[in-house]
């Protein structure tokens, strides 16, 4: 893009922003991950970190954002912002970008984040790197080095947005640790005036229908236990759920089981499903076809349980156990409970 305009632009654009997504009035865990990486980028640039909050009755979260590293919080609080509408949220973000132009802007690669970021980037006439897993500042230019997996994780691409500002990126949940809390940390809260009359909104929120019955979401849980066709039948997921519950993990699935109707689509991991990056991924009865790997191969530790020692997942895994999952999984659950039982008796002697 044109050089002259860009140089001037880059000078006027200051600081790092993160989008602090809230869901049902609560900050999502990725918001804290963004504060962590955003703080690091801001320090490298010797710049300020701001958080942008949109919702209804969310102002109370401003202090939490400041205590986790934000120097400033822009609060948009209005009843019409309670639920997510792409049009409305992107309008607000664009207007804020125009008023107080940032240099970098990170959003979560959540459903909301991925939708709103792409619209906002076009409206703000700037570039957006999708679903990044590594972010750093280039020493020479101060540009954002945005590294992201493409081709189902088979390629890592470094994306640069040289001449437009802000440089925007969505960030994969779990790609960064959470920011530490510093109690009593001070910052500025900027309440942005929201005037709904100005919006000619052509989308309407009707209602939200909960489907997860309080389960953890696969994308934002640090442990995922997935079941595959090796479960043999839909009731096999009872065992997977029990296992996940014991571990405090979310339940994932291969496409074969989703297509068979054993579990809803939101649990599907992989190319045509969702991407996860937990610390611990259990693949139970999953062969590990490339399309499944696309959704989980960046997990830190992978455990495979499979009757077939030659299955690709067994070769990829950090730890692999050859065996029938119906024998191995109950044995692991038993072992976990046993140890926890031990731990409880230990602790009880020196508890307060």
Partner 1 sequence: MPLNIVVCVKLTPSTANIEIDPATGSLRREKMSFAINPFDEYAVEEGVRLKERIPGSWVGALSLGAPDSEAALRESIARGVDEAFLISGPAFEGSDTFATGYALAMGIKKIAQIKGRVDLVICAKQTNDSDTGQVGPAVAAWLGWPGISFVKKVEEVSDKFLRLHRMMEDGYDVIEADLPAVIAVLKEINEPRLASLKGKMAAKKAAIPRWGAAELGVDESKIGRRGSPCAVAQQAAPPARPQGHRIQGGSPQEKAKQLVEKLQELKLI
Angle, to 10 degrees, between the axis of helix 111-123 and the axis of helix 86-99? 50
User: How far apart are the C-alpha atoms of 16 and 48, rounded to whole Å?
Assistant: 6
Q: Which is nearer to partner 1, 100 or 111 (CB)?
A: 111
CB 228 within 8 Å of CB 284: yes
| Rounded CA separation 218/290 (Å) | 19
CB of 178 to partner 1, least distance (A): 16
Distance CA 233, CA 236 (A): 6
CA distance 194 to 76: 7
Whole-number minimum distance, CB 149 to partner 1, in Å?
7
Indicate the SS3 state at residue 288. Answer: coil
| Site mask for ligand FAD (CB under 6 A), range 230-259, x = bound | x-----------------------xxxx--
- Give CA–CA dist 299/219, Å, rounded: 11
Q: If binding means CB under 6 A, how many residues of this protein chain bind ligand FAD?
A: 28
CA–CA distance, 272 with 294 (Å, rounded to integer): 9
Quick check: 83 binds ligand FAD (CB under 6 A)?
A: no
Binding-site partner at residue 110 among ligand FAD, partner 1, none, CB < 5 to 8 Å by type: partner 1
225 binds ligand FAD (CB under 6 A): no
By the 8 A CB rule, do 219 and 173 touch? yes
Contacts of 250 (CB under 8 A, 6+ apart): 215, 216, 217, 218, 221, 223, 224, 225, 244, 278
Residue of 195, 166, 164 whose CA lies nearest to 38: 166
Q: Phi then psi for 166, rounded to 5 degrees?
A: -70, 155
Whichever of 18 and 112 has its CB closer to partner 1, that residue is 112
- Beta carbon of residue 70, minimum distance to partner 1 (angstroms, whole number): 23
Among 47, 286, 321, 332, binds ligand FAD (CB under 6 A): 286
Nearer to partner 1, 79 or 182 (CB): 79
**Residue 159 interface partner, choices ligand FAD, partner 1, none, CB cut-off 5-8 Å depending on type:** partner 1
| Pair 260, 234: CB distance under 8 Å | yes
238 binds, among ligand FAD, partner 1, none (CB under 5 to 8 A by kind): none
Q: Is 272 in the site for ligand FAD (CB under 6 A)?
A: yes
254's contact among ligand FAD, partner 1, none, with CB below 5 to 8 A by partner kind, is ligand FAD
In the bound state with ligand FAD, the residue whose beta carbon lies nearer, of 83 and 289, is: 289
Of 113, 166, 173, 228, the one binding ligand FAD (CB under 6 A) is 228
- In whole angstroms, the minimum distance from the beta carbon of 168 to partner 1 comes to 9
Enumerate residues 304-343 that contact ligand FAD by CB under 6 A.
305-308, 311, 324-326
Tell me: does residue 149 bind ligand FAD (CB under 6 A).
Answer: no
Q: Which is nearer to partner 1, 2 or 195 (CB)?
A: 2
Interface stretch with ligand FAD, choices 74-82, 100-108, 290-298, 338-346 (CB under 6 A): 290-298
Picked from ligand FAD, partner 1, none, the partner binding residue 29 (CB below 5 to 8 A depending on kind) is: none
d(Cα 63, Cα 139) in Å, to the nearest integer?
32
Distance CA 124, CA 167 (A): 11
Torsions phi, psi of 320, nearest 5?
-125, 140
- β-pair type (144-150, 167-171): unpaired
Residues 6+ apart with CB under 8 A from 26: none
Q: Which does 247 bind (CB under 5 to 8 A by kind): ligand FAD, partner 1, none?
A: partner 1
Min dist. Cβ of residue 110 to ligand FAD (A): 18
Residue 149, φ and ψ in degrees, nearest 5: -75, 140
Binding residues for ligand FAD, rule: CB under 6 A, are 228-230, 254-257, 268-273, 285-287, 289, 291-292, 295, 305-308, 311, 324-326
């Amino acid at each position: 893009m044109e050089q002259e305009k860009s140089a001037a632009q880059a000078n006027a654009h200051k600081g790092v922003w993160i989008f602090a997504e809230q869901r049902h009035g609560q900050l999502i865990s990725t918001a804290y991950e963004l504060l962590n990486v955003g703080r690091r980028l801001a320090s490298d640039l010797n710049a300020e970190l701001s958080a942008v909050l949109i919702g209804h009755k969310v102002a109370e979260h401003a202090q939490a954002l400041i205590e986790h590293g934000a120097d400033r919080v822009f609060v948009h609080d209005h009843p019409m912002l309670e639920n997510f509408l792409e049009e409305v949220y992107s309008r607000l973000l664009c207007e804020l970008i125009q008023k107080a132009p940032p240099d970098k802007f990170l959003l979560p690669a959540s459903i909301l984040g991925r939708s709103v970021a792409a619209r906002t980037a076009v409206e703000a006439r700037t570039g957006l790197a999708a679903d990044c897993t590594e972010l750093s500042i280039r020493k020479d230019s101060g540009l954002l080095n945005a590294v992201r997996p493409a081709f189902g994780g088979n390629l890592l691409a470094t994306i640069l947005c040289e001449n437009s500002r802000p440089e925007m990126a969505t960030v994969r949940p779990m790609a960064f640790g959470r920011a530490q809390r510093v109690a009593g940390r001070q910052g500025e809260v900027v309440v942005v005036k929201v005037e709904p009359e100005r919006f000619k909104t052509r989308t309407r929120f009707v209602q939200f229908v909960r489907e997860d019955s309080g389960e953890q979401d696969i994308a934002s849980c640090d442990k995922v236990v997935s079941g595959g066709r090796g479960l043999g039948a839909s009731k096999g997921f009872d065992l997977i759920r029990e296992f996940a519950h014991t571990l405090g993990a979310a339940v994932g699935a291969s496409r074969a089981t989703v297509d068979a109707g054993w579990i809803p689509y939101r649990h599907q991991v992989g190319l045509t499903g969702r991407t996860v990056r937990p610390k611990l991924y259990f693949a139970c009865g999953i062969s590990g076809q490339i399309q499944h790997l696309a959704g989980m191969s960046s997990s830190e530790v992978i455990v495979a349980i499979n009757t077939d020692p030659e299955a690709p997942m067994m070769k990829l895994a950090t730890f692999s156990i050859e065996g029938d999952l119906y024998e191995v999984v109950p044995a692991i659950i038993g072992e976990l409970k046993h140890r926890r039982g031990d731990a409880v008796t230990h602790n009880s002697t020196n508890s307060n």
